[in-house]
Amino acid sequence: MARSSQVSGKPGRSGPVGVRELEGVSIPEAPTRPGEVDALVLRMAETIFGCRDARLVWVSGLTRRGHPRRHQWPTTPLSQDEALLIDKALARHACVAGEARHGWVRIAHALGYAQAVFLAEWPEACALPGRTPAGLLDFLTLLASRMRVEIELAAARNATGLMEKAAQLQNALYSIADLASSELDMVEMLRRTHAVVAGLMYAENFFIALYSPERATVRFVYFADQQDPYALNVGEEIPEVDMNNSLTMAVIRSGQPAMGASAQLREQFGIGPSGEYGPDSADWLGVPMVAEGVVRGAVVVQSYDRTARYNEEDRALLGFVAQHILTALQRKQALEELERRVDDRTRALMAEVVERQRGETLQAALYTIADLASGELDMNEMLRRIHAVVAELMYARNLIIALYSPERQTLRFIYHADEKDPGLVDPEVEIPEAYMRDTMTLGVIRSGRAVMGRPAQVTVQLGIPEGVFVGAVAEDVLGVPMVSEGSVRGAVLVQSYDASERYGEEDRALLAYVAQHILTALDRKQAQAELEHRVADRTRELALVVGELREQINERERAEQQLMHETMHDSLTGLPNRSFLYSALERSLSRLERNPDHRFAVLFLDLDRFKVINDSVGHLAGDQMLKEAGARLAACVRPFDVVARLGGDEFAVLLEDVNLPEDACHVAQRAIVSLAEPMHIAGKELFTSASIGIALGHARYRRAEEVLRDADVAMYRAKAHGRQRFEIFDERLHEEALQLLEMESDLRRAIQRSEFEPHFQPIVRLGDEHIVGYEALLRWRHPQRGVLAPGAFLGVAEESGSVEQIDWQMFEKTCGSIGQLGADVGYVTINVSPRHFRSPLLARQMLQLFDAYHLAHDRVRLEVTEGALLDNPEQVRTTLEALRDAGVVAALDDFGTGYSSLSYLHRFPLHTLKIDRSFVSALQQGERGGSTAVVRAVLAMARTLGMDVVAEGVETDEQRDCLLEIGCELGQGFLFSRARPASEWAATRLTH
């Protein structure tokens, strides 16, 4: 017992050991941390009781996986033998000894209710029964009580820390929300958001990337990096394929967060080295930003310091914050988009006001020009006053008006006002064309197009040698041709010697418009003068009978020529007509037969929206538009090419000696661009466009009609592809035209033979698959192709106008077949297309049909689409209310694929919503977002409105179970049955 007395304090002492009675132990004044208490206890035990290598192990709760959470001091790992001793001591709540080694025994003392163990090596003598060191049990009891207090204090500190972190996170989210609704610009908002995130975790290196799945691009809206500050251009859209080796792109594609060293993550994702995406980081953390089940970007933080590491708490925190950052970005972008739209609308309104004022000024100027032309002023005074009118519309201090005579090949400047060259030309002198060869005036007349810019630029546009100028050199020049009936009659030019006065596109359009009115005024003035001259001539001719007869002969010859011209030309536009074009085409085909190398092409043009213009502004304006279109087409081709008007708004162009198909395409594109420019007609600015079909000359053609037919087919293909474009005819188009014609013929015969019939697909209760009703679906029993679904022919039927006949045939057969389904079948739904609701008689016709087949009104329901509700809402509502009052309810088909607006669900008398199959096909059990959330929302909305819900397209057991799980009771689809004729359903009932 000497050993026992020596290690227990003073000799012969028994009972609890007080702190002040401990000898040789340095005690801190106020140990507060569990580690400090542990260290003190171990030093006390080794000093007082003579043990060695002591350690404490205690249990505080369970881990997430249900294992005990253990703490130990010192923190060095336990051996397997030590762990087994501890487990035994905890299980037995007793003292457990291990195997003796070198006179020392490893003993584990359980500390009772504190769930703790004191583990130490004792001399072998102390391990014998009845030889426990004096005071040890009291010491361990005191230690257990102290450890319980320490564990409770640690838990309290942990809870306090969690509350502080939650409060800090809540404040950070409030700050992000405030930033999103502030007036800060995007850059400053994101910079302050970075500061908020940095207050939650280590985020010195922080960036935000937005992903656009529609454009397959990535845009870094914020980027801050200590070692790579200029690696990326913030705001620039980067193609997704250029980001293949980026960890950010890997997180976006996977839709899952990633954490760890960048090199390890690249290996994990299977991507190449970082390269252009910055240096490797010691630790990297990225989380996706997800909205409505779609990844919209990622938030990334990274550390180059190996001591600054991220953990699971950081990952969860950043993932939570990332969603709020995405919400803030979307709110900020929506606000900026709204402001941009308001600004755009304001600018558009201001431009509209300015344009309207300018139009009024222009209209007044044109009226003035017309009044001057019909007045009694002489030519010089009339032109001087016209100059004054033009000067009110644009900068026209220097104005030149020149008339060209192609017969005499001369040029006459009928008006010339120039501040630097006032007397340069004589208005009465006709100047030979040869003397004006390199002038801008003659260049505009020859080219037949407007020019604008500095004189050096204009000469290049007109192909005039450099440095050749007549008179003083201006700072800016604008010239437009005066065109009448497809031929250039002259030109109007304005020029500026002031460098601050420049001409723009509006000036060019304005001067071109005014030029045509000037030409009209000149023609009228000249016509008046010619009339006076003709009266004088006629008076003189009456004096000479011979001269009179000669004049009559001449007049007859001219009349015959005019008659011949009118026979081969269009009376409105003056262009060649269909007969002229056919003759020219026959000549081209003959040349091709004689010379296989001969090349030609035919362009068939149709003006888009011409009927709308004709109906809205009148046929006179439509005729003017046709004349203007013909003139523009003539300006797009060479003089020997043929531009013909075939009738209505159809034109054709015959191109001779061309390189196929390049030249034909270039001409077609020029025509499209020219016709797309605005036309100033009847005081209005009208717009049209052209759809063009091209047929290339080929040896297979034998008649002109064949070439024109194929060009016409190609033109309709251009219209089908969106208008204002051209298409080249090939054999595929020919085959499609033949197939379309054959389908239309088959449809007409099918209506006559009553080949359309209803097939019925059951609507069941999902719980027990009991049939509550059927949907009647259209089928065509084709004699050769068998049973066809609507997708194979309905589009052709709508274009040919036969769809309504098919529908009524379908309605009658459906009503006649309901009796075969049985008296207890419930109801049958009939699909009604939107065009039927345009008739106010639809409700009465339907009820008459049901009564004719003695059908109870509650056995028939109508299915309508969202498009029908929006096409003519008031008429549709009136029709549905009339049917509802008679007992016929309506179902909204394919809900969710159109506008899906709540506004019309309570405006229209709807009984049932049918969820579109696209949502049902994407359902997955256990999923909370995506289609499941949409279907759940539709069900909640329908219950609120008191409506039934039917899920369409149920094809798998999983989809049915998922629908039942979220509360959908009714459905239809291939899982239960395909659509079958009524006779098959009747046979099935008999067998059962």
pLDDT of residue 6: 32
Specify whether the CB–CB gap between 751 and 809 falls below 8 A.
Answer: yes
pLDDT of residue 3: 34
Sequence-ordered list of residues with C-beta below 8 angstroms from that of 889, at least 6 positions apart, any chain: 858, 861, 862, 883, 909, 911, 912
pLDDT of residue 546: 62
Comparison of pLDDT for 543 and 456, the residue scoring more? 456
Over range 503-510, report the average pLDDT.
Answer: 87
Sequence-ordered list of residues with C-beta below 8 angstroms from that of 426, at least 6 positions apart, any chain: 413
**Tokens standing for 521?**
């005024």
pLDDT of residue 25: 43
Comparison of pLDDT for 411 and 325, the residue scoring more? 411
For every residue of 118-171, DSSP letters joined together read EEEEEEGGGGSTT-PPTTHHHHHHHHHHHHHHHHHHHHHHHHHHHHHHHHHHHH
- Which of 20-24, 101-105, 786-790, 855-859 is predicted least confidently? 20-24
**Tokens standing for 353?**
């006001």
Alpha-carbon distance of 481 to 512, in angstroms, equals: 7
Sequence-ordered list of residues with C-beta below 8 angstroms from that of 383, at least 6 positions apart, any chain: 401, 414, 415
For every residue of 377-394, DSSP letters joined together read --HHHHHHHHHHHHHHHS
**Which strand (E) or helix (H) includes residue 957?**
helix 957-965
Alpha-carbon distance of 401 to 386, in angstroms, equals: 11
pLDDT of residue 925: 75
Half-sphere exposure of 523 (CA within 13 A, CB side): 12
pLDDT of residue 29: 46
Comparison of pLDDT for 969 and 148, the residue scoring more? 969
pLDDT digits (tens, 9 = 90+) for 703-736: 999 899 889 889 988 888 888 899 998 777 767 6
Alpha-carbon distance of 176 to 327, in angstroms, equals: 9
pLDDT of residue 161: 60
**Tokens standing for 142?**
């005191």
pLDDT of residue 418: 87
pLDDT digits (tens, 9 = 90+) for 603-661: 999 998 888 888 778 888 888 999 999 999 999 999 989 999 998 889 999 999 888 78
Name the average pLDDT for the chain: 82
- Which of 184-188, 723-727, 744-748, 885-889 is predicted least confidently? 184-188
Alpha-carbon distance of 759 to 774, in angstroms, equals: 9
Q: Is the pLDDT of residue 24 over 70?
A: no
**Tokens standing for 923?**
């359902």
CB-based contacts of 988-991 (< 8 A; 24+ apart in sequence): 989/822
Specify whether the CB–CB gap between 205 and 303 falls below 8 A.
Answer: yes
Alpha-carbon distance of 589 to 647, in angstroms, equals: 23
Model confidence band, residue 9 (pLDDT cutoffs 50, 70, 90):
very low
Model confidence band, residue 934 (pLDDT cutoffs 50, 70, 90):
confident
pLDDT of residue 972: 95
Comparison of pLDDT for 72 and 849, the residue scoring more? 849
pLDDT of residue 12: 34
Q: Is the peptide bond before 74 cis (omega within 30 degrees of 0)?
A: yes
Comparison of pLDDT for 627 and 16, the residue scoring more? 627
pLDDT digits (tens, 9 = 90+) for 623-635: 899 999 999 999 9
pLDDT of residue 159: 63
Alpha-carbon distance of 894 to 884, in angstroms, equals: 21
pLDDT of residue 929: 64
**Tokens standing for 664?**
């034909």
pLDDT of residue 886: 92
For every residue of 305-363, DSSP letters joined together read -TTS---HHHHHHHHHHHHHHHHHHHHHHHHHHHHHHHHHHHHHHHHHHHHHHHHHHHH
Percent of the chain topping pLDDT 90: 21
Model confidence band, residue 11 (pLDDT cutoffs 50, 70, 90):
very low
Comparison of pLDDT for 65 and 130, the residue scoring more? 65
Model confidence band, residue 106 (pLDDT cutoffs 50, 70, 90):
confident
Question: Pairing between strand 827-831 and 771-782?
Answer: parallel
pLDDT of residue 30: 46
Over range 236-240, report the average pLDDT.
Answer: 87
pLDDT of residue 791: 80
pLDDT of residue 1: 30
Q: Provide the sign of the torsion angle of the four alpha carbons 632, 637, 640, 644, taken in this order.
A: negative
Q: Is the pLDDT of residue 127 over 70?
A: no
pLDDT of residue 154: 64
Query: Which residues pair with residue 830 across a beta bridge?
Result: 776, 862
From the CB of residue 811, how many other CB atoms can be counted at a distance below 10 Å? 23
Sequence-ordered list of residues with C-beta below 8 angstroms from that of 752, at least 6 positions apart, any chain: none
pLDDT of residue 15: 36
Overall size of the chain counted in residues: 992
pLDDT of residue 19: 38
pLDDT digits (tens, 9 = 90+) for 155-213: 666 666 667 666 666 777 777 767 666 667 777 878 888 888 888 788 888 889 899 88
Q: Is the pLDDT of residue 425 over 80?
A: no
Q: Provide the sign of the torsion angle of the four alpha carbons 714, 715, 718, 719, taken in this order.
A: negative
Alpha-carbon distance of 428 to 430, in angstroms, equals: 7
Comparison of pLDDT for 767 and 682, the residue scoring more? 767
Model confidence band, residue 232 (pLDDT cutoffs 50, 70, 90):
low
Comparison of pLDDT for 764 and 227, the residue scoring more? 764
Q: H-type helices in 818-929, by residue range?
A: 842-852, 866-871, 873-885, 902-907, 917-921
Q: Is the peptide bond before 790 cis (omega within 30 degrees of 0)?
A: no
Residue with tokens 């003089």: 639
Over range 116-121, report the average pLDDT.
Answer: 84
Model confidence band, residue 117 (pLDDT cutoffs 50, 70, 90):
confident
From the CB of residue 116, how many other CB atoms can be counted at a distance below 10 Å? 27
Q: Is the pLDDT of residue 904 over 70?
A: no
24, 144, 401, 772, 926 from 55: Cα distances, Å: 19, 14, 112, 75, 48
**Tokens standing for 197?**
């995130």
Alpha-carbon distance of 22 to 852, in angstroms, equals: 112
Model confidence band, residue 899 (pLDDT cutoffs 50, 70, 90):
low
Alpha-carbon distance of 184 to 198, in angstroms, equals: 19
**Tokens standing for 913?**
């919503």
Over range 4-14, report the average pLDDT.
Answer: 33
pLDDT digits (tens, 9 = 90+) for 532-556: 777 777 777 776 666 667 777 777 7
